[in-house]
């Protein structure tokens, strides 16, 4: 439906909800979702703001293709200053919540201030009101959604909420929608919790409309869906095996971070892989994987729906975890598994369920457990401090620690800090495996060099979804590049970062880029939106969004020193695999990248660059 | 010479039952056998042999018929897949 041209502004301090027109000049320059909401954010919020102060704002934003018949058009993003990182945060989620926001007639919701008491926002088309959430505070994500639907006597309401992690100040709390889809990274749920905002519940009945050229849009979306269906990756590979098919690939390449990046290959990788999820368990004769699943409007359907082994130690006598639920996806399986050396697939799915149920990021959590296990291995943390034995590989410790983190109990409170703050507290800051206080995802940059640069320069801290050069360096999409060299990676990273900024601003899933190029997205956007959305305009948009985020981070106090990797990845060579003997070449790639970006040697965009981008 | 063949995702259907649990099959091959010859010998559909690694290193399509395998190497193959 293109834009609805309406923004809902919610002042949590005053308890008011007001409609205002979307700034259409900005929409022409920043499109929607990530780009447009970040524009609103940087115009309205002091970069130096404490992320947990009332002066920080939080925006939930859709893109112009959200809620339309474009494939994967169900995305929305949460934009704020991240609690975990202190950098610009933009966490993207699928499911059905984003489309519902559009159906209710809103492009975005801006939350400002802090409510004096717990509240949730109820939206029914044009009507928006803050309602008391005292009865929801202390409830899990899953309980919250159930209670809200019963309260409103409407099973079709879509809910995005925080769990107990967001209430308890876990620094990497998520906003979870539709039970197991999440705006997962950087602590956007922590910011939501700091505002006493428990949930947003939306029912929209307006449907889709307002497409600029309906006939052209129909033709463009049908053609683009055919591209996805005909592509072997999006048509067969992802629906069948999901993202988890990568576990064995990345392990074979020697780029699977293991035991807090001490190793680059995990001996039990196969046990926690997508292939293992398909196999019947010897214990009950059933496979963990039940089916695949799609988000709103998605014709790929990469999502995993699984059932646990009811006899596994983590869920014995806990029937609430026996039903079909989301997971495992590759990132969660890696972080909860290889990062800690845990090879128990059922334990990983249990910890994943707890992350979904109480709303915290499994990547940062798993990596933080990995760091804690290394501190335990070094004798810096003791059994008494943690409350249990916690050696690498302990499924029992992983399971218990996930519960303690959700509830904010004992050592779980310390794990809730994330690895950067935890390792600094115990005098070993170098053992935190991340950038800008956000932990790495599932690719070791000694074996995939470009990802080191992508991590170091990601505007929201270490992240694979800001510039997924794995597509090129490992999978050959769009062209194969050598993962073990630094040459050419500056331009490659920039190209991925800018293109991803466009897809994240459009309302579609970045996984479409395994088949689509910008040339597949452009006709859909141009048919949906006024303004002549040419390839040139979109290309410039991506670079503009990236630089806008960079300017915010620079003003927040980040410098070139923050575009760096932990010493382990620069000084401790990979021990095995094709990258054996290699470290990451970030110090070679960084200046090349700054030059490619049109930034000075301190990582600041030059006047010429800003002028060219209209910033 | 001995070479380990690993087949993943949909390609694992081409492994004997006993090898599916590990996705790996140890083979005795003539010296100088190339990845392309091994793929043909196992009757693997070419369009599914997308990502071909020898000891974790990508072998481009152009050299799959010319680069001989060496005793002790592992040839791992995936169909077109992706993740994130």
Q: pLDDT tens digit string along A209-263?
A: 789 999 999 999 999 999 999 999 999 999 998 999 999 999 999 999 999 999 9
Residue closest to A363 by CA, chosen among A271, A288, A438: A438
Residues with Cβ < 8 Å from A568, sequence gap 6 or more? A261, A430, A431, A433
- Is residue A361 within 8 A of residue A166, CB to CB? The reply is no
- Is residue A86 within 8 A of residue A437, CB to CB? The reply is yes
Tokens found for residue A346:
């059922």
- Provide the 8-state DSSP code for A337: I
Closest to B53 (Cβ–Cβ): which among A242, A252, A464? Answer: A252
Domain boundaries, chain A: 6-203, 258-432, 449-613
Closest to B83 (Cβ–Cβ): which among A246, A270, A482? Answer: A246
Architecture of domain A6-203: 4-Layer Sandwich (3.60)
Average pLDDT value over all residues in chain A: 97
Quick one: A92 exposed, middle or buried, by C-beta within 10 A (0-12, 13-18, 19+)? buried
Mean per-residue pLDDT, A179-200: 98
Q: What angle do CA A481, A486, A492 make, to 5 degrees?
A: 55
C-alpha atoms less than 13 angstroms from C-alpha of A176 in its C-beta half-sphere: 28
Contacting residues of B for A474, CB less than 8 Å apart: 51
Whole-angstrom distance, CA of residue B75 vs CA of residue B4: 6
Question: Confidence band (pLDDT; 50, 70, 90) for A207?
Answer: confident
Is the model's pLDDT at A473 over the cut of 70?
A: yes
pLDDT tens digits for range A330-352: 999 999 999 999 999 999 999 99
Contacting residues of A for B76, CB less than 8 Å apart: 248, 252
Phi-psi region of A259 (alpha: psi -120 to 50; beta: other; left: phi over 0): left
Residue stretches of chain B with pLDDT short of 70: none
The CATH number assigned to the domain with range A449-613 reads 1.10.599.10
Mean per-residue pLDDT, A473-485: 96
- Is residue A59 within 8 A of residue A111, CB to CB? The reply is yes
Architecture of domain A258-432: Orthogonal Bundle (1.10)
C-alpha atoms less than 13 angstroms from C-alpha of A522 in its C-beta half-sphere: 15
Question: How many CB pairs (< 8 A) connect A and B?
Answer: 92
Give backbone dihedrals phi and psi of A346, rounded to 5 degrees, phi first: -65, -40
Q: Do domains A258-432 and A449-613 have the same CATH topology?
A: no
Whole-angstrom distance, CA of residue A6 vs CA of residue A107: 6
Contacting residues of A for B18, CB less than 8 Å apart: none
At B52 the pLDDT is: 98
Question: Confidence band (pLDDT; 50, 70, 90) for A1?
Answer: low
Mean per-residue pLDDT, A92-113: 98
Q: pLDDT exceeding 70 applies to what percent of chain A?
A: 100
At A2 the pLDDT is: 87
- Inspect the interface and report whether the beta carbons of B22 and A248 lie closer than 8 Å: no
pLDDT tens digits for range A361-415: 999 999 999 999 999 999 999 999 999 999 999 999 999 999 999 999 999 999 9
Give the C-alpha distances (Å, rounded to integers) separating A440 from A433, A495, A551: 6, 21, 23
Whole-angstrom distance, CA of residue A207 vs CA of residue A125: 10
At A169 the pLDDT is: 94
- Is residue A501 within 8 A of residue A458, CB to CB? The reply is no
DSSP secondary structure of A89-130: EEEEE-SSHHHHHHHTT-SEEEEES--SS-EEEEEETTEEEE
- Is residue A524 within 8 A of residue A217, CB to CB? The reply is yes
The answer to whether B31 faces chain A, any CB pair under 8 Å, is no
Q: Higher confidence at residue A65 or residue A241?
A: A65
Contacting residues of A for B21, CB less than 8 Å apart: 279
The answer to whether A510 faces chain B, any CB pair under 8 Å, is yes
Whole-angstrom distance, CA of residue A459 vs CA of residue A119: 31
Residue closest to A354 by CA, chosen among A329, A321, A306: A321
Whole-angstrom distance, CA of residue A544 vs CA of residue A504: 13
At A208 the pLDDT is: 76
Helices (H), A330-379: 330-333, 345-358, 362-377
Whole-angstrom distance, CA of residue A99 vs CA of residue A206: 11
The CATH number assigned to the domain with range B2-75 reads 3.10.20.30
pTM (global) more than 0.90: yes
Residue closest to A61 by CA, chosen among A91, A81, A84: A91
For β-strands A58-62 and A158-161, DSSP reports them as unpaired
Mean per-residue pLDDT, A593-602: 98
- Inspect the interface and report whether the beta carbons of A236 and B57 lie closer than 8 Å: no
Give backbone dihedrals phi and psi of B17, rounded to 5 degrees, phi first: -50, -45
Whole-angstrom distance, CA of residue A93 vs CA of residue A77: 6
Helices (H), A557-606: 567-571, 586-597
- Inspect the interface and report whether the beta carbons of A465 and B78 lie closer than 8 Å: no
The answer to whether B18 faces chain A, any CB pair under 8 Å, is no
Q: pLDDT exceeding 90 applies to what percent of chain A?
A: 99
Contacting residues of A for B53, CB less than 8 Å apart: 252-253
- Is residue A580 within 8 A of residue A69, CB to CB? The reply is no
Residues with Cβ < 8 Å from A431, sequence gap 6 or more? A260, A371, A374, A375, A419, A423, A566, A568
DSSP secondary structure of A205-272: -S-S---S-HHHHHHHHHHHHHHHHHSHIIIIIHHHH-GGGHHHHHHHTT---BTTTTBS--TTGGGG
């Amino acid at each position: 439906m293109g834009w609805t041209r309406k923004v809902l502004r919610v002042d949590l301090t005053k308890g008011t909800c007001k409609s205002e027109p979307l700034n259409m000049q900005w929409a022409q320059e920043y499109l929607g979702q990530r780009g447009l909401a970040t524009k609103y954010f940087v115009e309205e919020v002091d970069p130096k703001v404490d992320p947990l102060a009332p002066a920080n704002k939080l925006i939930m934003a859709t893109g112009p293709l959200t809620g339309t018949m474009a494939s994967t058009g169900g995305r929305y993003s949460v934009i704020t200053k991240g609690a975990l990182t202190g950098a610009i945060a933009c966490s993207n989620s699928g499911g059905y919540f984003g489309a519902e926001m559009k159906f209710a007639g809103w492009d975005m919701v801006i939350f400002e201030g802090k409510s004096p008491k717990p509240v949730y926002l109820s939206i029914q088309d044009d009507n928006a009101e803050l309602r008391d959430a005292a009865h929801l505070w202390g409830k899990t994500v899953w309980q919250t959604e159930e209670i809200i639907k019963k309260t409103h006597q409407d099973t079709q309401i879509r809910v995005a909420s925080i769990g107990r992690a967001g209430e308890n100040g876990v620094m990497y709390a998520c906003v979870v929608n539709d039970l197991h889809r999440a705006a997962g990274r950087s602590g956007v749920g922590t910011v939501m919790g700091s505002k006493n905002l428990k949930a947003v519940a939306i029912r929209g009945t307006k449907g889709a409309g307002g497409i600029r050229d309906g006939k052209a849009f129909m033709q463009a979306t049908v053609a683009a869906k055919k591209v996805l269906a005909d592509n072997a990756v999006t048509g067969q590979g992802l629906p069948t095996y999901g993202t988890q098919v990568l576990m064995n690939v990345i392990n074979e390449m020697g780029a699977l971070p293991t035991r807090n990046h001490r190793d680059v290959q995990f001996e039990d990788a196969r046990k926690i892989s997508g292939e293992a999820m398909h196999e019947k368990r010897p214990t009950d004769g059933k496979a963990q994987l039940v089916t695949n699943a799609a988000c709103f409007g998605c014709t790929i359907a990469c999502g995993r729906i699984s059932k646990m082994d009811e006899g596994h130690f983590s869920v014995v006598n806990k029937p609430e975890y026996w039903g079909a639920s989301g997971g495992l996806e590759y990132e969660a399986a890696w972080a909860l598994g290889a990062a800690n050396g845990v090879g128990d697939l059922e334990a990983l799915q249990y910890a994943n369920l707890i992350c979904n149920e109480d709303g915290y990021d499994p990547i940062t959590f798993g990596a933080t457990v990995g760091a804690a296990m290394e501190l335990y291995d070094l004798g810096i943390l003791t059994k008494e401090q943690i409350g249990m034995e916690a050696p690498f590989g302990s499924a029992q410790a992983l399971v218990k620690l996930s519960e303690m983190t959700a509830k904010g109990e004992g050592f779980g409170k310390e794990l809730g800090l994330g690895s950067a703050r935890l390792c600094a507290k115990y005098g070993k800051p170098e053992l935190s495996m991340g950038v800008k206080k956000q932990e790495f995802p599932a690719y070791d940059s000694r074996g995939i060099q470009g990802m080191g640069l992508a991590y170091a320069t990601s505007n929201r801290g270490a992240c694979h979804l800001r510039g997924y050069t794995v597509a090129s360096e490992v999978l050959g999409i769009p062209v194969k590049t050598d993962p073990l060299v630094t040459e050419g990676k500056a331009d490659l990273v920039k190209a991925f970062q800018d293109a991803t900024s466009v897809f994240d601003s459009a309302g579609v899933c970045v996984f479409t880029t395994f088949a689509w190029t910008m040339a597949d997205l452009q006709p859909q956007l141009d048919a949906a939106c006024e303004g002549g959305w040419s390839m040139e305009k979109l290309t410039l948009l991506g670079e503009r969004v990236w630089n806008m985020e960079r300017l915010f981070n620079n003003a927040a106090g980040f410098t070139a020193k923050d575009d760096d990797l932990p010493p382990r990845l620069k000084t401790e060579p990979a021990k095995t695999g094709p990258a054996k003997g290699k470290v990451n070449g970030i110090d070679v790639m960084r200046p090349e990248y700054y030059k490619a970006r049109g930034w000075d040697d301190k990582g600041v965009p030059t006047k010429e660059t800003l002028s060219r981008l209209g910033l | 010479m001995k070479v380990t063949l690993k087949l993943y995702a949909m390609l694992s259907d081409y492994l004997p039952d006993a090898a599916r649990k590990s996705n790996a099959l140890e083979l005795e091959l003539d010296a100088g056998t190339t990845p392309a010859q091994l793929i043909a010998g196992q009757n693997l559909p070419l369009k599914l042999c997308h990502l071909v690694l020898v000891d974790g290193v990508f072998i481009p399509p152009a050299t799959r018929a010319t680069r001989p395998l060496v005793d002790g190497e592992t040839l791992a193959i995936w169909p077109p897949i992706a993740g994130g």
